[in-house]
Amino acid sequence: MKLIITLFFGMALSAAGFSQTDTSFKTNILNSKTEIHPQNGKYTYAYILIEGKLFSKKLKVSVDFGDTPEQLNAGKEYSEKLTGKKSFAAVLNHMVESRFELVETLDYSDTYSGSGGTSGIVFIMRKSLPEIGS
């Protein structure tokens, strides 16, 4: 029993010795994030789901800005305006013209009876809000 306890503590001490954290790595990551976004402004976000239409080259676009009535109306207007475009780049270009910037791109996938695949793309975009008083 003493041998098992001694081996356990020996392994725990050696694991603790090898599991030191590298704080310089964490500092570099934090610094790079602050360098990329030096100003801490406020943003409004858009969730844009793009799917292909059945038997068509046109795209079906659904834009989500949020839950308020104004955001719902704006999302519906953008959805109607962007649905029917033939390329993902056309959707991105329209949003960039509206002063949005791309934050992330995700695959939208469905699963039916165990088989699935990518059925669309999601763009997460943001727009800088003007500061009050400027």
pLDDT of 117 reads 58
Q: What is the pLDDT of residues 66-109, one digit of tens each?
A: 999 999 999 999 999 999 999 999 999 999 999 999 999 998 77
Q: Is 71 exposed, middle or buried (0-12, 13-18, 19+ CB in 10 A)?
A: middle
Q: How many domains does the chain have?
A: 1
In terms of Cα–Cα distance, which of 42, 61, 43 is closest to 52?
A: 61
Report yes or no on whether pTM surpasses 0.75: no
Which domain does 97 fall in, by range?
A: 43-128
Whether 7 is covered by a domain: the verdict is no
Confidence of residue 32 (pLDDT cuts 50, 70, 90): very low
Is 5 a domain residue?
Answer: no
Sheet holding 101-112, edge to edge: 59-64, 43-52, 115-128, 101-112
* Residue 38 maps to a domain: no
Side-chain-side CA neighbours of 3 within 13 Å: the count stands at 0
The band of 52, judged by pLDDT with boundaries at 50, 70 and 90, is confident
User: Within a domain: residue 34?
Assistant: no
Is residue 76 in a domain? yes
Q: Is residue 33 part of a domain?
A: no
Indicate whether 49 belongs to any domain. Answer: yes
